[in-house]
Chains A and B, each alone.
Chain A
Amino acid sequence: MAKVPVQFSLNGSEKAEFVDSGATLLAVLRGKAGDTSPKGGCHQGTCGACSVLIDGELRLSCLTLAETCEGAEITTTAGLAEAGVLHPLQRAFMDGFAAQCGFCTPGMLMAAKALLDRTPNPTREDVVEAISGNVCRCTGYEPIIQAILAAARANSHNAA
């Protein structure tokens, strides 16, 4: 199968890969770039577990062709903590029991980050809308919604 060269930045590190034409970004991140933080829950764009940020936009990596990511800046949950310091969202998910089995968590965190980057003080409705493409089967949505709101409060408190 024809290989396509792709260069992108992953959580600030430069990556260069030869990928199969038609390979998904999810498969390339997990199988080639060594980042297994995006999860494959459905491989058909319905569960959100594979969510990543591409140039700051929330995207489903299972529906994104890797070859379309040339020059892109990709952010995943693996890059959320900076220098070992947890992001406020990670802290809030820990404190608020917002991760039970943990499989939807990386996607939830990316959806939440995309929201807070744009809307630092979201309403509950904003949060519900932001995670509406992410399925959770055991934690329950309420602790997740509360954790995202708590992270937003912690952020604005720190900024003040």
Chain B
Amino acid sequence: MRLAKNYFADERRDDLNEIGQGRPRADVPGHVTAKTTYFADRNFPGMLHLKMVRSPHHHARIRSIDTSEAEKHPGVVRVLTAKDVPHNTYTILILIQIGPEDEHVLAEDKVRWKGEAVVAVLAETERAAQEAAAKVKVDYEVLPAVLDMEAALKPGAPLVNEHHGQNYYMYDSGACRKVRFGDVEKGFAEADHILEQTYSSSPIEQAPMETTGCIAVPDGNDRFTCYTNTQAMFFTLDNTSIILQMPGSQLHLVGGTAGGGFGGKVDVIVEPIAILAAKLTGRPVSFIYSRHEEMQISSPRAAETITIKDGVMKDGRIVARYVKGYTDAGAYSRHSPYGAQKGAAHYPGPYTIPNVWADTYCVYTNRTPSSAMRGFGVTIADFALEVQMDKLARLIGMDPLEFRFINAYRDGDMKAHRQTTEGAALIECMQEAARAANWPVAEKYFALSSHPREG
């Protein structure tokens, strides 16, 4: 690796001595000797195993739940249903006032996605818990389901989540997050060409090597220690406190070591029910997703559909951009209202476009709730934007990299969501990339910089 000292020479301190150096990770001696302690590397005497009974339907009303046979199964210690959970209706981002509470720790009257947790079974062995879970009888009345965003937004579509009242998240700005900048209609009227394209993506599973899980242990003084691989310790602490109606001082979370996460361990799913089970049984409780659960139950990256309409001049300037973005939250919000909102700010990309109109919707469907995954809200947007940029360049017969130089943002440019660009280095990165790849770019683009435009 080389530090390109010719860029930003006036802004850069010259005493940087780490870049380009190989430095060992602090945790790697533990990894290669297998002394690194993951949450499941702990054994506790008398530990119980939790297995979840899950909905086999995308959407159904629960007529009744019969746990009597499961409770009689050898090795079963306790069976939990919604009524055992002190504050059963929750939503993770309520901590930052993004409500309403719309999800149930254990299903109450309805299930809204195939895989939703309904009953928790606690037994002496994993096998006994699994066998007993199969004996729980849930009587479902199957309801019509909506499995894609288009169907969810059609008039008369089945309502996915009554806590919202409609199949999209209601922001304080209305049915969508909005970005309004300049006069987009005027921009399209002036444009030499207009290109409208729609980009769609499927959900993506994070698939960490270590599945989601935790072990909750009673400390014996009404305090509980929970060993977890969560990526969000404080979200977990605070949401568990709300769900169990226990002060945070009674909850001791131990974490920080995860066998991969990629955003898939940001939701608060396993800890509240495991701690509740430890409280109600007085015994350590292990709740670890099987690989099947990790793939089918844990929140994936949301499916997205993004329509981009751009007005472009023959000289390469993008003069107007109109975007409609849809994020499939699945049945519950989790982090998706936030992900969709990030998209709204991101759709102009790292380009300065004078007229922008963006609407982004967070849509509810009867699919597995989606949530965080590496750059959620912007990664799929970037895929769509950069494919669109290539198509625009082709449309006007321009080199795709030169086209990006023309539109690249620079320090001082006002972005569509009213943040002034600071610390831009896109032009310099593209210059370096062009040199490294021997990509033919006209000399004038090597004279550009990210420094503020003149005048």
In the complex, the chain B residue whose C-beta lies closest to that of A20 is: B125
Judge if B148 is at the interface, Cβ distance under 8 Å.
no
Looking at B34, B38, B210, the one whose CB has the most chain A CB atoms below 10 A away is B34
Question: Are A97 and B209 interface neighbours, CB within 8 A?
Answer: no
A102 to B43, CA, bound (A): 20
Taken together as a complex, chains A and B put the C-alpha atoms of A103 and B19 apart, in Å, by: 27
Cross-interface CB contact of B209 among A30, A89, A103, cutoff 8 Å: A103
Bound Cα distance A132, B27 (Å): 25
Judge whether B43 and A31 touch: CB under 8 Å: yes
Residues of B within 8 A of A30 (CB): 41, 43
- Point out which of A76, A89, A104 has the most chain B C-beta atoms below 10 A from its C-beta: A104
**Please, what's the 1-or-0 string for B15-38, where 1 marks a CB less than 8 Å from any CB in chain A?**
000000010110111111110111
A151 CB to closest chain B CB (Å) equals 11
The answer to the question of A148 belonging to the interface, with a C-beta cut-off of 8 Å to chain B, is no
Q: How far is the CA of A47 from the CA of B260 in the complex (A)?
A: 14
Is residue B259 contacting chain A, with contact meaning CB distance below 8 A?
yes
- Determine whether the beta carbon of B41 is less than 8 Å from that of A36: yes
Cβ-defined contact, A94 with B28, below 8 A: yes
A83 within 8 A of B: no
A122 CB within 8 Å of chain B: no
For A109, the chain B residues whose CB sits under 8 A away are: 32
- State whether the Cβ of B255 lies closer than 8 Å to any Cβ in chain A: no
Is B34 a contact partner of A37 (Cβ separation < 8 A)? yes
Inter-subunit contact A36/B259 (CB<8 Å): no
Tell whether, in the assembled complex, residue B28 and residue A101 are in contact, meaning their CB atoms are under 8 Å apart: no
A43 to B126 Cα, complex, angstroms:
13
Query: Are A77 and B34 interface neighbours, CB within 8 A?
Result: yes
A72 to B208, CA, bound (A): 32
Contact with A along B35-52 (1 / 0, CB 8 A): 011101101000000000
Q: How far is the CB of A156 from chain B (nearest CB, A)?
A: 21
Chain B: CB-nearest residue to A49: B209
Instruction: Report chain A residues within 8 Å CB of B43.
Output: 30-31
Flag whether A78 is at the interface (Cβ < 8 A).
Answer: yes
Flag whether A135 is at the interface (Cβ < 8 A): yes
B291-A102 in contact (CB<8A):
no
Tell me the A8-34 residues at the B interface (CB within 8 Å).
Answer: 30-31
**Do residues B33 and A137 form an inter-chain contact, with CB atoms below 8 A?**
no
A104 to B34, CA, bound (A): 10
What is the number of residues of chain B that contact chain A, defined by CB distance less than 8 Å? 28
**B207 CB within 8 Å of chain A:** yes
A44 interface contact, C-beta 8 A: yes
**What is the bound-complex CA distance between A97 and B210, given in angstroms?**
19
The chain B residue sitting closest to A48, CB to CB, is: B209
A105 interface contact, C-beta 8 A: yes
User: Can you name the residue of chain B whose Cβ is closest to the Cβ of A81?
Assistant: B33
Interface assignment of B68: CB less than 8 Å from any CB of chain A: no
Q: Which residues from A are CB-within-8-Å of B33? A: 77-78, 80-81, 86, 90
Cβ contacts A69-106/B at 8 Å (1 or 0 each)? 00000001110110000100111011101011111111
Residue of A nearest to B27 (CB): A102
A102/B24 contact (C-beta < 8 A), A41-B209, A47-B209, A137-B209 known: no
Q: How far is the CB of B361 from chain A (nearest CB, A)?
A: 31
Asked whether any CB of chain B lies closer than 8 Å to the CB of A66, the reply is: no
Q: Is B236 in the interface zone, CB < 8 Å from A?
A: no
Question: Which residues of chain A in 30-57 are interfacial with respect to chain B, using CB atoms and an 8 Å cutoff?
Answer: 30-31, 36-37, 39-44, 46-47, 49
Contacts of A94 in B (CB 8 A): 24, 28-29, 32
- Docked-complex contact B24 and A99, CB < 8 angstroms: no
Give every chain A residue within 8 A of B30 (Cβ-Cβ): 102
Q: A39-B209, A47-B209 are in contact. Are A103 and B260 (CB under 8 A)?
A: yes
Interface string of B177-215 (1 = CB under 8 A from A): 000000000000000000000000000000111110000
Q: What distance in Å separates the Cβ of A83 from its nearest Cβ neighbour in chain B?
A: 13
Counting CB contacts under 8 A, is A138 at the interface? yes
Chain B residues closer than 8 Å to A42, beta-carbon distance: 291
B258 at the interface (CB under 8 A from A): yes
Contact B291 A93 (CB under 8 A): no
Shortest Cβ gap from A68 to chain B (Å): 19
A136 at the interface (CB under 8 A from B): yes
Nearest CB in chain A: distance from B41 CB, A = 4
Expressed in whole angstroms, the minimum distance between the Cβ of A98 and any Cβ of chain B is: 8
Closest Cβ neighbor of A36 among chain B residues:
B41
Q: Give Cα A37 to B33, complex, Å.
A: 8
Q: B294: nearest residue on chain A (CB-CB)?
A: A42
Residues on A with C-beta less than 8 A from B41 are 30, 36
8 A Cβ contacts from A124-140 to B: 135-138
A selection of 28 A-B contacts at a CB cut-off of 8 Å is: A30-B43, A31-B43, A36-B37, A37-B34, A40-B40, A41-B211, A43-B290, A47-B291, A76-B34, A77-B32, A77-B34, A78-B34, A81-B33, A90-B32, A93-B28, A93-B32, A95-B22, A99-B28, A99-B31, A102-B30, A102-B31, A102-B32, A102-B259, A103-B208, A103-B259, A135-B209, A137-B209, A137-B262
Q: Which residues of A contact B (CB under 8 A)?
A: 30-31, 36-37, 39-44, 46-47, 49, 76-78, 80-81, 86, 89-91, 93-95, 97, 99-106, 109, 135-138
Q: Which 9 A-B pairs have the closest CB atoms?
A: A103-B259, A102-B31, A37-B34, A36-B41, A99-B31, A90-B32, A42-B291, A103-B209, A77-B34
